[in-house]
Amino acid sequence: MLKKNILYLLHQSNICKRICTITYPWGWKDKTLITNQKNYLQKKAKINNLIDNFNENEFIKNTIYPYNLIYKSYIGNIDFLDYGYTNPSLSIALNKIRSTSQIPQLPNSINIKDVKILSNEIKEEITTCNFKYLGYFDKEQIIHELSAGAIGPEVQHIWDQKPIKQVVNLLYESDNYYDIVEWERDLMLLNPTWQVSNINNLVNK
């Protein structure tokens, strides 16, 4: 419980004011707003094809099950902070919306018809996670920071290493929904795993 309280304290973000949980109990926004987001991403965002070991078709295929799992967890009243599907800020937002809204009967799963990559970028930003210390640091990062501090500024390349992550926005079209899901992974880790950091810009950044 203490761990969750700390995550709530450090990672609670503003939920977009343009959502409507009554009309849109999943997705939370009118399709027009989501289409505007899609057009913005396609116009402004970068498509980075220089990332090693990134197969777009394989990535898309592997996201379908966890996307459905997040949906099922939402309608199944699962505490998102107990799992690694979503980062802390989105986990808290989903928990909060669900606890303050009356969710009607929804389909048991999402029947996806098409998935499209809208953007694929590398960003110099830290990747938060429900299982990291304070949501920010895992064991490897803590060791790195301690090592850099112990060695001293003469080893400049260690000091200068910045957090870096890959962020990919996917558009999922299904029978009932039209969702833009933002996936991210921490490229500072040896075997980074993917998680969802936003859905239809639910969380303001």
CA angle 157, 48, 161 (to 5 degrees): 15
> Tell me, what's the pLDDT at 45?
66
> Tell me, what's the pLDDT at 86?
97
Four-residue CA torsion sign, 33, 35, 41, 43: negative
Tens of pLDDT, residue by residue over 128-162, are: 999 887 777 665 555 455 444 444 554 444 444 67
Name the pLDDT band for 118 (thresholds 50, 70, 90): very high
> Tell me, what's the pLDDT at 18?
95
> Tell me, what's the pLDDT at 2?
63
d(Cα 167, Cα 183) in Å, to the nearest integer? 6
Q: How far apart are the first and last CA of the chain?
A: 26
Segment (H or E) for 98: helix 88-100
> Tell me, what's the pLDDT at 148?
47
> Tell me, what's the pLDDT at 151?
47
Q: Give the mean model confidence (pLDDT) for residues 74-84.
A: 94
Domain ranges of the chain: 2-199
Torsion of CA 21, 23, 29, 32, to 10 degrees: -170
Q: Give the mean model confidence (pLDDT) for residues 79-104.
A: 92
> Tell me, what's the pLDDT at 133?
76
DSSP string, 102-115: ------SS--EEEE
pTM to 2 decimal places: 0.86
Q: 198 in helix, strand or coil?
A: strand
Tens of pLDDT, residue by residue over 13-36, are: 899 999 999 999 999 999 999 999
> Tell me, what's the pLDDT at 159?
43
pLDDT at residue 61 greater than cutoff 90: yes
